[in-house]
Amino acid sequence: MIPVPGFEGRRIAVFGLGRSGLTAARALKAGGARPVLWDDSVSSRMQAEAEGFDVEDLTAADWSGFAALVLSPGAPLTHPEPHWTVGKAREAGVEIVGDIELFARAIAALPESERASVSVVAITGTNGKSTTTALIGWVLKQAGATVHIGGNIGIGVLALPAPTPGVSYVIEVSSYQLDLTTSFTPDVAILTNISPDHLDRHGGMEGYVAAKKRLFQNLPAPGAGAIVGVDDPEGAAIAAELKARGATVDRVSVRAPLDDAMGIYAVGSILYYNAPEPVALVDLALARSLPGRHNAQNAAFALSAAIDLGIPTEIAVEGLLSFPGLAHRMEHVGTLGRVRFINDSKATNADAARQALSSYDRSYWIAGGRAKAGGIDDLEDLFPRVAEAFLIGEAAGPFAARLGETPHRICGDMASAVQAAAEAASATGRDEVVLLSPAAASFDQYPDFEARGEAFRAAVLALGAQAPSAP
Domain containing residue 434: 331-462
pLDDT at 258: 87
287, 321, 355 — which closes off a domain? 321
* Pick from 124, 131, 155, 130: nearest CA to 20: 155
Q: Are 239 and 142 within one domain? A: yes
Shared domain check, 220 and 335: no
CA atoms within 13 A on the CB side of 152: 22
Residue 440 sits in the same domain as residue 317: no
What is the structure's pLDDT at 45? Answer: 93
Are both 194 and 261 inside the same structural domain?
yes
Q: Are residues 178 and 301 in the same domain?
A: yes
pLDDT tens across the length of the chain (471 residues): 999 999 999 999 999 998 889 999 999 999 999 999 999 999 999 999 999 999 999 999 999 999 999 999 989 999 999 999 999 999 999 999 999 999 999 999 999 989 999 999 999 999 889 889 999 999 999 999 999 999 988 789 999 999 999 999 999 999 999 999 999 999 999 999 998 877 888 889 999 999 999 999 999 888 889 999 999 999 999 999 999 999 999 999 998 888 878 899 999 889 999 877 889 999 999 987 888 788 899 999 999 999 999 999 999 999 999 998 878 888 999 999 999 999 999 999 998 899 899 989 999 999 999 999 899 999 999 999 999 999 999 999 999 999 999 999 999 999 999 999 999 999 999 999 999 999 999 999 999 999 999 999 999 999 999 988 755
**Pair (121, 84) in one structural domain:** no
Question: Which CATH number goes with the domain that contains 272?
Answer: 3.40.1190.10
| pLDDT recorded at residue 470 | 59
Q: What pLDDT sits at residue 190?
A: 98
Tell me, what's the pLDDT at 452? 97
Domain count, the chain: 3
Residues 41, 78, single domain; the answer is yes
pLDDT given for residue 175 in this prediction? 92
Answer yes or no: do 25 and 44 share one domain. yes
- Same-domain pairing of 93 and 107: no
Give the end of a domain, one of 32, 67, 97. Answer: 97
CATH code of 393's domain? 3.90.190.20
Which pLDDT does position 310 carry in this prediction?
A: 94
Q: Looking at residue 19, what is its pLDDT?
A: 80
Q: Which of 39, 69, 97 is the last residue of a domain?
A: 97
Structure confidence at residue 27 (pLDDT): 97
The pLDDT score that the predictor gives to residue 90 is 97
